[in-house]
Every structure is written in structure tokens, then in C-alpha cells.
């Protein structure tokens, strides 16, 4: 097998493997906390980067607000609801 063919096979393997790598929010399994202890605004921005269509005001989501415990939800929308609730905030 030539080096060009090996490169092509390696590229195909990467394309097949990458989509099954879980995102931190959706694929965690008894790993270290992803959101607990982090500022709420940083967690909300992370959820935005993962695809949740979310707009929030820094007047309501102040830097002092923290996520106290790791959310148990598995969807982005439910995770957002779960981290907002302790602060009397809703989607």
C-alpha cells in the first residue's frame, strides 16, 4: 500500500471516528464536572457554542452567579433550564 493510499485510509477513519466523540455536556459519564463551579455566563456561552439558540443579558446573568451542581439533564435546552433555575431565571 502506497503512502498516499495509507493517508486516504487514515483520513476516512478520522471522518468516521470524529462524529461519535461526545460533546462534554451530552456525553459525560461519571467524569469530572463540566459545569459545576463555573460562572453561569460561561456555561451559557458554552451551550451556545454547542448549538443552543440562546440570548441573555449580563444585567441578569451577572459574573458572580455560579453553577452550584452538575446538571443531570442530557439535552442542551434542559441543561440550560437546570443551571438557570437555582438563580430564579428561566428560558
With cut-offs at 50, 70 and 90, classify the pLDDT of residue 63: confident
Task: Give the mean pLDDT of the chain.
Answer: 78
Q: How confident is the model at residue 10 (pLDDT cuts 50, 70, 90)?
A: very low
**pLDDT tens column, 12-45:** 433 344 444 445 555 555 556 699 999 999 999 9
pTM of the model: 0.65
Closest CA to 66 of 33, 32, 90, 38: 38
How far apart are alpha carbons 80 and 55 in whole angstroms?
12
Amino acid at each position: 500500500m502506497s503512502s498516499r493510499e495509507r493517508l486516504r485510509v487514515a483520513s476516512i477513519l478520522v471522518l468516521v471516528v470524529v462524529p461519535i466523540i461526545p460533546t462534554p455536556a451530552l456525553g459525560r459519564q461519571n467524569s469530572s464536572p463540566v459545569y459545576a463551579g463555573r460562572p453561569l455566563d460561561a456555561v451559557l456561552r458554552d451551550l451556545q457554542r454547542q448549538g443552543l439558540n440562546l440570548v441573555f443579558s449580563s444585567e441578569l446573568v451577572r459574573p458572580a452567579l455560579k453553577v452550584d451542581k452538575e446538571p443531570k439533564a442530557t439535552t442542551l435546552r434542559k441543561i440550560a433550564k437546570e443551571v438557570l433555575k437555582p438563580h430564579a431565571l428561566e428560558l
